[in-house]
Amino acid sequence: MLSGRRIVLGVTGGIAAYKAVEVCRRLVDAGAHVVPVMTKGAEHFIGRTTLSALASEPVQTSLWDEASPIPHTKLGQGADLVLVVPATARLLGAYAAGLSTDLLTNTLLATRAPVIVCPAMHTEMWEHPAVQDNLATLRRRGVHVVEPDEGRLAGGDAGKGRLATPERIVAEVERVLGPRDMQGLHVVVSAGGTREPIDAVRVVANRSSGKQGYAFAAEALGRGARVTLVSTVELPVPSGAAIRPVETAAQMQAALDELAPTADVVVMSAAVADFRPVAAATGKIKKDAGVPEIVLEPTPDILAGLGAVKPAGQTLVGFAAETSDLIANAESKLRRKNLDLIVANDVSAPGVGFQHDTNAVTILRAGGEAVIVSLTDKRAIARAVLDIVCEIRAGQGSSVTDTAV
C-alpha cells in the first residue's frame, strides 16, 4: 500500500527515538521511500548510522550541510507525508508557533503534504495545558496526532506519554495515505473467541486470538471506513476504531444486534462458542465436591440471525473454520446464513487460522468465482477480502450511508 510513497521521517530528541528505527524499518518493508531527518536532540539518543542504514537515504540533520541551498523546501515539497516520531513538547511548540528553528521544523512549515505527529513525553509534560493547547492548534490545522499510550515511562514511573506502538503509527500512516474506497462506510468487525462462564473462575473458550479481526479493522480504517470492533480480546486497538469489549456469545449478539442494522459492512471474524454451560455457578466450584457435571446448551448463531434480517445494501461477511470438506461446508454456510461472502480456512493446516500471524483462505461469494489466497499475513487476507467487498458493493451500486467521517 505504501509502495513508492515518499515519507519524511522526522526524529526528535526523546528517549523513544530508538523506536523510530523500528517504524522506519516497517515503512521501508511496506515499500515506502523513507527520508530521515534528525534534530540535534535526536542525536543524543540514536546514531545517524542506524537510521541511515535502514532508511532509503542518508539522514539529514541540518539546513546547512547539503550542496543544495534550499533542502528544507525541497524535502517538504517532495513529501507525500511528513511523520514525526517521537514528537517532543519542544517540537510541538515550535510547529504550533510556526518557528523554523532547524531542518525538521523548516520542512514541516514548507510542506503541503499531510503531517502525522506521534508525541512522547512524561505524563506531567503531556498533561501541561501548553502542550495540550499546541496539540489542539495543530489538530485544528489538520495535523494528525497519534496519541501516546499509557504505560511505563523512561524514569521508571507510569502514566500517559509512552510513544504509540510501531503498529499503531504505521497503521495511521496507511490510513492517511491509503486508498479511500471505503470512505463513508461504517464497518462492524467482530474479533476473538467468546468465553462462556462455567463458574466464577472457569470458562469454556477457544483458541481464537482476534488477530484476523483486528487486521480487518486496521485495513478498513486505512481505506477510509469508520470502524467499530466488537472484541473479546485486548490487542492494541487500531487508531481511530471504536471498541466494544464483550466476553460471551450473548454479549456479542447484543452488541451486534444493536450495531449491525445501520452498518454498511459486517465482518464476523469472531469464533463464537457453539455451546455454553446452561448455568454458571456463582462461586468457584470446589474440587472436593467431586467431578462436576457441566450441562451445555447451544448458543444462538449470531451470524445466521444477522443474515435473516440483513438490510438492503449491507454486505455480510462470515468465516468458516473447517478441518475437512472446506469448500462444501463453507458453501453451505454461505447459503444457510444468507451471506454475501464467506472466508473459508482449513484451521488444521500449518500457519493457518487460530493464533497465527498468517492465514490462507478461500473466499467464496454468492454467485461468484472462488478466490484462493495462499499463506500470507492477516492484513493481506483482510485486504483481499475487502477488495471483493468493494467490488460487490460497486456492482450493486450501493450508496454510502454514513456521512459522519
- Whether 300 and 253 have beta carbons less than 8 Å apart is answered as yes
Does 247 contact ligand CTP by CB under 6 A?
no
Does 361 contact ligand CTP by CB under 6 A?
no
Tell me which DSSP letter residue 346 carries. Answer: E
Catalytic residue among 106, 134, 206, 329: 206
Residue nearer to ligand CTP on the CB measure, 105 or 212 = 212
Residue nearer to ligand CTP on the CB measure, 126 or 216 = 216
CB 95 to ligand CTP: min, Å: 45
Number of neighbours of residue 179 by Cβ within 10 angstroms: 13
Residue nearer to ligand CTP on the CB measure, 223 or 333 = 333
CB 193 to ligand CTP: min, Å: 10
- Site size for ligand CTP, by CB under 6 A? 14
- 134 is an active site residue: no
DSSP E strand boundaries for 261-378: 265-268, 275-277, 296-298, 315-322, 341-346, 358-365, 371-377
Residue nearer to ligand CTP on the CB measure, 167 or 301 = 301
Distances, alpha carbon 44 to alpha carbons 12, 48, 62, in Å: 10, 10, 15
The sign one gets for the Cα dihedral 332, 338, 342, 347 is negative
How many residues can be counted in the chain?
405
* Coil, strand or helix at 397: coil
CB 274 to ligand CTP: min, Å: 5
- Whether 192 and 267 have beta carbons less than 8 Å apart is answered as no
Looking only at residues 93 through 132 of this chain, which bind ligand CTP when binding is defined by CB under 6 A?
Answer: none
- Whether 256 and 280 have beta carbons less than 8 Å apart is answered as no
Which of 20, 272, 382, 392 contacts ligand CTP by CB under 6 A? 272
Nearest Cα neighbor of 167 from 217, 122, 229 is 217
- Whether 288 and 334 have beta carbons less than 8 Å apart is answered as no
Stretch that binds ligand CTP, among 132-140, 232-240, 276-284, 294-302 (CB under 6 A): 294-302
Stretch that binds ligand CTP, among 52-60, 131-139, 266-274, 382-390 (CB under 6 A): 266-274
Q: Contact letters (x/-) for ligand CTP, 297-336, by CB under 6 A?
A: --x-xxx--------------xxxx-----------x---
Tell me how far apart the 2 most distant CA atoms of the chain are, in Å: 83
Stretch that binds ligand CTP, among 23-31, 109-117, 213-221, 295-303 (CB under 6 A): 295-303
Does 268 contact ligand CTP by CB under 6 A?
yes
Residue nearer to ligand CTP on the CB measure, 97 or 328 = 328
371-377/358-365 β-pairing: antiparallel
Q: Which residues are catalytic?
A: 206
Contact positions toward ligand CTP, by CB under 6 A? Answer: 249, 268, 270, 272, 274, 299, 301-303, 318-321, 333
